[in-house]
Structure 1
Amino acid sequence: MMNNEHGHVAVVGGGPAGMVVGLLLARAGVPVTVLEKHADFLRDFRGDTVHASTLTLLDELGLGERFAALPQRRLDRVMVQLDAGAAQLGDLRRLPGAHRHIAMVPQWDFLDLLADAAEEEPTFTLIRNAEVTGLLREGSRVTGVRYTDRIAGTVHDLPATLTVACDGRGSAVRAAAGLRPRSFGVPMDVWWFRLPRREGDPVGGVGRLSTGHFVVTLDRGDYWQCAYLIRKGGDATLRAEGIEAFRARIAALLPWLADRVGELASLDDVKLLEVRLERLRRWYADGLLFIGDAAHAMSPVGGVGINLAVADAVAAARILAPVLRAGGRVPVAELRRVQLRRWWPTALVQAAQRIAHRGLLGPVLNAEPSGPAAPVALDGSGDLVLAPARDLPQPLRLLRRFPALQGIPARLVAIGPLPEHAPAWARRRQQALTRP
């Protein structure tokens, strides 16, 4: 068990936010223990995008070359396929800096990389199979966590000067603290599924939009990660229609995938994500801080949740490390500083997502299709055939006429409103991957 010489930190949750805050605090010399509920990171994550701002952070931490060695696909433009044809929404090649793309990397590889780097620090500990079941308290102050070893079944108390909750939108720590987030209504849930990818398919990410339908396909190399948006609460109704109806729907929307929709053996291959958009009013209590999805669950619009969580972690480590190194309690005012720093970019992104819900996704999903969707055309190289400019909505016509404008949505998604940078004490020179 870590000593409390500099103020021990318990981090609940070994996702991107938890591993990044643990790594940075350990590099500051702060004793930190990350509690991860599972035995490993090998789970079916779907939010596997690492955006340009996070790629820059990895460079600053000396981990850029290690990350580049991971299997990945790169997305440098954002396309939407309408019934009239394709249009380009964003061009990431116009981004500033070294990373003009979004990397799509299996999240377990990303988390293993962060864990390996953190475990090189003498003050870092990762405990797996540790399910947090409660909080330790002295009066109104949180003084640590209680967790169960899921293998041995034993119960342990972990005292901590500060507990950082990074355990996602279903946060057990948040429930134990008796906090409920403010919820914003959303018009959709998401069905996730995979289909094989073949030579001649389009490259990168494609959003397919038609009246009553919206599906996103993400190029993962040998397969497509697909997200089919459904009306909120519509899961049971659609499942009652059966797998054949769903296969036919996808084949009609994306004819270039029609020859492989049979790979969906049953609707057991289609997983439901219940979309939430919510935010805690206060992200802290005495001895306790919430970051990432535990503080603010994001809509999948833009795929920015992971990168906002990582930015939260960087800001928290930079603000709190000097206090933790000094020892003693962490003043509530310092925890408030973290929320003040990260609240406005979070609220801004959530506001943009709410506008997208109301102005685009809600009307599309609630509309009844007037007939079969128009076929999607591919050229000889597998690229989507562009729609005539006259058939595009005005915003898309402007983006095509003035391509420099495509850098604006690219920057909003790939970098965000307030990218965070590694503090000087956490930076390292680039380190090549040394594991066999």
Structure 2
Amino acid sequence: MDEFQTPGSGESVTTRCCVVGGGPAGLFLGYLLGRAGVDVIVLEKHKDFLRDFRGDTIHPSTLELMHELGLLDEFLSITDKHLDSLNLNFEGQQFEGPYFTHLPTKCKFMTVAPQWDFLNMLARHAREFPNFQVHMQSKATKLIFDGDRGVGVKVEGLNGDYEIHADLVVGADGRGSEMRIDAGAEIIEKGIPIDVLWFRISKQAAVTDNTLARIREGRMLITIDRGDYFQTGLIIHKGTFDELKQEGIEAFRNRVVGILPTLADGVADIDTWDKVHLLTVQLNHITNWAKPGLLFIGDAAHAMSPVGGVGVNLAVQDAVAAANLLADPLYNGTLTLDDLKRVQQRREGPALKMQRLQVFAHQRLFGGHTAPGKPISISWGVRKFAKLFAPILRRKAGKIIGLGFLQEHIECPQRAPKTVEAHAK
């Protein structure tokens, strides 16, 4: 837990950069800015990072960054599994999917790691920098403006309401970003036909393959191997969760077992709907990431769907690009709107390309039936195309999933702060 005593009611804190959101994008950015000698505060509204059913797949691009920072060995010690390829099981037939062994990275595999362990590790190392703070149980409630320039945030903290004033506020508060709404950002929605039901199922039988997606009788199940249990996702048509509940929990369990019979023993774990969590899938982006004194990154700028498991990794790439481009002007007190716009200019293209691929995948997998409760339909043509071009597609897909469309590297320097400017007045 954070040892820093959060400000009391009515206090005001000044810093160079305030990052709203302690997820992968926000905490990675805070770590890199602290490492570069920039005074930075990260706000996390929860008391800890322990929240289940978050994105836990860490791809080669992120592992390469951990290698560049000298944190790779420590990070790999908290991972559950290493996957150098992914498979799809369609109606009981196994199909080989993307592979990563050809990538020009230190780690030619993706990992599965509890996101809370990843974030705790980052926070622990970030606290080694004297100019870094993370305020836990501190929720940013409103942006503070001076004219059209963002100059800080109002915060509901553990010890009362306080304010943070900063040269830059970064909205990294995810797909439900309140900061982007407060800033009046224009949100472009892409109609997504699915939601995901997340739940745990203990492993009673050995399942050792690298299959993440299973389709049977038109229904799709995601199974992420977490050692003694599967973190499991059932794909449903958007807005049909209440109808599934009306069918009863036993019908739900039967549906899961119908896709993967080896879960028959463990599925008894789901004895109440409280153990089934609805993830409302979003796919959207904002048109303007940057305003004077204000920047959005990660899901706050471009909410990704679960397709490809790329969300966490794209968010981290945004954070690295932002740190590379903004560390010097923040350190020197010379930050301009043009500096902020360069982050969008660099990262928007890769994000939108990935979203277009996700839209394509949604249309091909889930677009055949729009009526509630209808199963997934994958056309004969799509299956034939995938089989014929499997070697090329597997290699290309591995590169896209593993590295994204623009791989970032650590370029911002490590240096001591000029002064530790964050203080209470």
**TM-score scaled by structure 1?**
0.87
CA RMSD of aligned residues (A): 2.2
* Counterpart in the other structure of 1:332: 337
For 2:49 and 2:86, the matched residues in 1 are separated by 29
Q: Equivalences for 1:83-232 in 2 at 5 Å?
A: 83=91, 85-149=93-157, 151-152=158-159, 154-232=160-238
Q: Do the aligned partners of 1:194 and 1:223 also contact (CA within 8 Å) in 2?
A: yes
Equivalent of residue 364 in structure 2, options 359, 377, 399: 359
Structure 2 partner of 1:432: none
Which one is further off, 343-352 or 75-84?
Answer: 75-84
Equivalent residue, structure 2, for 1:43: 51
Rate the CA distance shift 1:274–1:313 in 2: closer, same or farther, 3 A: same
Shift of 1:391: 12
SS in 2 for 1:248: helix
What corresponds to 1:420 in structure 2? 408
Instruction: Summarize deviations over 1:79-100 as a string: whole Å, max 9, x none.
Output: 1111251111112223332211
Letter in 2 for 1:421: H
Deviates more, 1:73-82 or 1:194-203: 194-203
| Counterpart for residue 3 of structure 2 | none
Q: Does 1:263 align with 2:277?
A: no
Matches of residues 273-288 of structure 1 in structure 2 within 5 Å?
A: 273-288=279-294
The Cα shift of 1:395 comes to: 3.1
Q: Against the structure 1 CA distance between its residues 21 and 339, is the aligned structure 2 distance closer, same or farther, given a 3 Å change threshold?
A: same
SS in 1 for 2:189: strand
The superposition leaves residues 351-378 of structure 1 with CA deviations (integer Å, 9 ceiling, x where unpaired) of 00000111122226758459xxxxxxxx
TM-score (norm 2): 0.89
Q: Is the 8 A contact 2:20 2:170 kept in 1?
A: yes
Q: Which position in structure 1 is the counterpart of 2:325?
A: 319
User: Aligned partners of 2:337 and 2:145: how far apart in 1?
Assistant: 15
Distance 1:369 1:50, change over 3 A: closer
Unaligned runs of 5+ in 1: 371-389, 428-436
1:409 paired with 2:397, answer: yes
- 1:221, 1:254 → 2: CA distance? 17
Q: Does the Cα contact within 8 Å between 1:211 and 1:364 map onto a contact in 2?
A: no
CA distance in 2, matches of 1:211, 1:358: 18
Partner of 1:387: none
Q: Contact 2:80/2:111 (CA < 8 Å) preserved in 1?
A: yes
3-state SS of paired residue (1:418): coil
Q: How far apart are the structure 2 equivalents of 1:426 and 1:128?
A: 25
Picking from 58, 66, 72, the partner of 2:74 is 66
**Which residue number in structure 2 is paired with residue 398 of structure 1?**
388
Equivalent position SS for 1:161: strand
Instruction: Write the letter of the residue equivalent to 1:69.
Output: S
Identity among equivalent pairs (%): 42
Q: Quick check: 1:140–1:286 contact (8 Å CA) kept in 2?
A: yes
The match for 1:374 is none
Query: Contact 2:37–2:414 (CA<8 Å) still a contact in 1?
Result: no
Change (3 A) 1:344 1:52: same
Q: Does the 8 A contact of 2:43 with 2:139 survive in 1?
A: yes
- CA positional deviation for 1:45: 3.6
2: CA distance, partners of 1:94 / 1:31: 39
What letter matches 1:46 in structure 2?
Answer: R
Counterpart of 1:380 in structure 2 is none
Alpha-carbon distance in 2 for matches of 1:313, 1:358: 30
Kindly indicate whether the alpha-carbon contact (under 8 Å) linking 2:13 and 2:164 is maintained by their aligned counterparts in 1: no
Instruction: Give the C-alpha shift of residue 413 in structure 1.
Output: 0.8
Unaligned 5+ segments in structure 2 are: 1-6, 416-425
Shift of 1:210: 3.2
- The range that moved more, 257-266 or 115-124, is 257-266
Deviation for aligned residue 1:163: 0.4
What are the superposed Cα offsets for residues 100-128 of structure 1, whole Å, 9 maximum, x if unpaired? 11111111100011111111111111111
Which moved further from structure 2: 63-72 or 273-282? 63-72
